[in-house]
Chains A and B, each alone.
Chain A
C-alpha cells in the first residue's frame, strides 16, 4: 500500500525541507521506493538540500501542464536505490497548480512508489491547499518556540478539517541544555499544548547546516545524532515501535560545563 505524506508546519524556517529530505532518504535507505515532491513553487529548495540542484531539467508545473512526462521530470538520486525527486518550478507562482492537479499527480506517483513525501510551503494559502490535496497522512514540524507552536496548532486544525487522519508531530531544534535550565518547553509541555502524537524529536545540531552545505542529508551519516533521529523517524513512519532517547540526560549540566559557561567559555552552540 503506497502512502502520501505531507510535511507541513504553518510557520516558515522550522525545518520542513530538511525533514522532508531526511525522511525521504531514510525511507529509501530502509529499502522503500520514495518520491520526494517539492511543492514550494516559486521558492524551491529541496533540490539544494538533496544536492540535486544541477540535475533539474523539468519541474512539477511542466508535468501538470503536460509539457513533459512525469518520468522525465523525476530526478533519480544516485546515492540510494529507489529515491527520486520532483522539483518545484522556480519561476512560477503557487496559483499555477490547483488541488485537483496535485491529487492526480500524487495518484500517478503512488502507482510507482511506496512513499510520496510532499514538502509543503509555509503558510496556509494555495500552496498548503495543493500540498494536502493528495495526502493520506500529515507530519507537523515545529520547534520549541511560541510562534512555531501557535502556527502548528492552526495547521493541525486545518489538516483535521480536511478530513486527514490525526497528524503526527516532529519537534525540531530541541536544545536539551535549555530544557534543563527551564528556558525551553520540553517534549511533554509541547505535547500537552498541541495534543497530537509525537513521531520525532530532533536535536538542534550543527550537522544540519553542515549537511545542507554539502547537499548530503544527515541521515546518510551513521555517526550524526541528527541523522540517527531521522532514521528513527523513518522507522516510526513505517510503523516500527522505536523509543525516544532522552536527550535531556545526556546533557545535564555538570559543574565543569556550568563553570565554563559562567566564565564565558561556553561552546559556540549547544551540542545535544
Chain B
C-alpha cells in the first residue's frame, strides 16, 4: 500500500513536472566517490581511521572545530588528491614538542 502510494505520488510529480527526485545524481555522486576509493584501494572506513589518526596529531597543536572538518579524496585531471579542510579554533600549546 505504501509502495503504491509513493508510486502514485511519483507519477503525479512526473505528470505535473514538479519531480525533484533525480536518481541519476545519486548514481553519479556515489560512483565518483567509489571509483576513487577503488583506485587507491582505500575504503571509506580506512579513510575515516586515517582521519582519526591524523586528527590526533593535529589536536596536539591546535584546537580544531570538528563540525567543520572535511577530509576526502578528490580526482581532478586524472590526479587523485587527499583534500582536507581543518577549521582551527585556537592554538592549544605554543611550545609543544613531541618527544
Contacts and interface: CB of A to CB of B under 8 A. Distances in A.
Q: Specify whether A and B are partners.
A: yes
Interface of A: 145-146, 149-150, 153-154, 157, 179, 181-186, 189, 192-193, 195, 258-259, 261-262
B31 A182 contact: no
B64 to A, nearest CB: 33
Interface residues of B, number: 20
A270 to B, nearest CB: 14
Which of A179, A181, A195 has most chain B Cβ within 10 Å? A181
B76 to A, nearest CB: 11
7 contacts: A150-B34, A153-B38, A181-B14, A181-B19, A182-B22, A186-B24, A258-B15
Contacts of B21: 182
B39 interface: yes
A145 B31 CA distance: 10
B31 A184 contact: no
B24 to A, nearest CB: 5
Given A150-B31, A150-B35, A193-B31, A262 B24 contact: no
B35 A193 contact: yes
Is the contact region of chain A dominated by helix, strand, or loop, or is it mixed? helix
Interface in B8-56: 11-12, 14-15, 19, 21-25, 27-28, 30-32, 34-35, 38-39
B68 interface: no
Contacts of B39: 153, 157
Contact of B24 (A185, A258, A259, A261): A185
B11 A146 contact: no
B3 interface: no
Contacts of A186: 24
A96 B22 CA distance: 47
Contact of B38 (A150, A195, A258, A261): A150
- Please list the 10 inter-chain residue pairs (A to B) with the smallest Cβ-Cβ separation, ordered nearest first: A182-B22, A262-B15, A185-B24, A183-B23, A153-B35, A146-B27, A262-B11, A189-B28, A182-B24, A185-B27
Nearest to B25: A182
A184 B25 CA distance: 9
Contacts of A154: 38
Contacts of B35: 150, 153, 193
Nearest to B22: A182
A195 B80 CA distance: 14
Given A185-B24, A189-B24, 9 more contacts: A145-B27, A146-B27, A150-B31, A150-B34, A157-B39, A181-B14, A182-B22, A182-B25, A184-B24
Contacts of B32: 193
A145 B32 CA distance: 13
B38 A149 contact: no
Contact of A261 (B11, B22, B25, B28): B11
A195 B27 CA distance: 16
A183 B22 contact: yes
